Amino acid sequence: MSILENSIIVLHQILIMFLLMVVGYILFKTGIFDNHTTTHLSTLLNTIVIPCCVLASFNRDFDPALAGTLGLTMLSACGVFVVSIALSNALYRKGHPENYRDCRMCAVFSNNGFMSLPLLSAMFGETGVFLGSAHIVVMAVVLWTYGVMQVNRDYRFSPMRILLNPGIIAAVLGMLLFLSPVNLPTDVSSALTHITNLNTPLAMLVLGGYLAQTNLASCFTEARIWRVGAVRLLVIPALTMALLYFMPLDNTAKLTLLVGTSAPTAIASAMFAQMYGSDYLYSTKVVALTTILSLVTLPAVIAAMSFLLA
């Protein structure tokens, strides 16, 4: 696929996603949605819809070459997170700034489920979602270890909490399905397809609802939010591009991983901050700003990587 074709697909998809976000924003502002609605929809997405997307992407005949690419993509995702964590720990040291833990969360974790999967599906179909699941699985592990460690002062490592994460469960079941000689029955596969089709509209409505709960003006006027946003949308994607350029992956896998890494700040950053009593309002503002700016930065990053790979 050419750079121009990639750019057109991304721009069209982001325009659709933006329009859906506007609908979510209006629904919240008019009272049809409230805080409970967005919370429940977010839970539905994280526990049911996104895991179903991951599981459905593995419902295919086994391909040794594709399995090898998935393994390399997962290893590359681990490398990207190591670099991201090292950078954020260096930039946001203890006490500088005061909410340094929230800054680390907002810089490291991307909205790879809500924003990336719809884009990957549009760009590369089921193969894109299949390879994109590598980034989702690695992030789930990092989120429930490093992420919780940042916002929970009383953190204790819990392997069961990681293993029982819906994303991990879906990935494990999906890998077993991919390695087995059988596929899911047609009716089950069709039901999964209907659920996965909910991902884009529900995710964008939720994001619109989150944007409606923030003071958008303050998002654009606070320098500290812009600094973290620049790290999330520009610095980490640039480092990822440099890392991926030398990795032994095909171009589809490289672009897939880059899309996951270049997405705006994860809503989980705000959700976890609220759950553990950290500065969730700050995290919500970063989510809002990076989501809006990603409408420009995400196509630009993808176009730049496509140009390098060409």
One-letter amino acid identity for 305?
M
pLDDT reported for residue 81: 96
Helix, strand, or coil (residue 96): strand
Helix, strand, or coil (residue 265): strand
CA distance 291 to 288: 5
Which residues make Cβ contacts (< 8 Å) with residue 123, sequence separation at least 6?
A: 1, 6, 9, 10, 13, 255, 259
Domains and CATH numbers, the chain: 3-309 (1.20.1530.20)
pLDDT reported for residue 191: 95
CA 2, 5, 9, 12 torsion-angle sign: positive
Maximum separation of any 2 CA atoms in the chain, in Å: 56
HSE on the CB side for 102, CA within 13 Å? 25
pLDDT reported for residue 254: 94
pLDDT reported for residue 155: 67
CA 299, 303, 309, 310 torsion-angle sign: positive
| Residues forming beta bridges with residue 96, ordered by sequence position | 93
Phi-psi region of 263 (alpha: psi -120 to 50; beta: other; left: phi over 0): beta
Q: What is the pTM of this model?
A: 0.84
Triad 65, 242, 142: Cα angle to 5°:
70
| Cβ count within 10 A of residue 52 | 21
Triad 110, 160, 108: Cα angle to 5°:
15
Say what the alpha-carbon torsion angle 213, 219, 220, 222 is, to the nearest 10 degrees: 160
CA distance 76 to 30: 44
In this structure, what token pair is assigned to residue 291?
């989501």
- Which residue carries 């179909």 as its tokens? 125
CA distance 1 to 116: 18
Per-residue pLDDT of the chain (310 residues; tens, 9 = 90+): 566 776 777 777 778 888 998 999 999 999 999 988 988 888 888 789 888 888 888 888 888 888 899 999 999 999 999 999 999 999 998 877 778 989 999 999 998 877 788 888 888 888 888 898 888 888 888 888 888 888 877 767 677 777 787 878 888 898 899 888 888 999 999 999 999 889 888 888 888 888 888 888 888 888 889 999 999 999 999 999 999 988 889 999 999 999 999 999 988 888 788 777 777 778 888 988 998 898 889 989 998 998 888 7
pLDDT reported for residue 1: 57
| First CA to last CA distance, the chain | 10
Query: How far is the CA of 81 from the CAs of 135, 278, 279, in angstroms?
Result: 9, 22, 23
| Cβ count within 10 A of residue 171 | 23
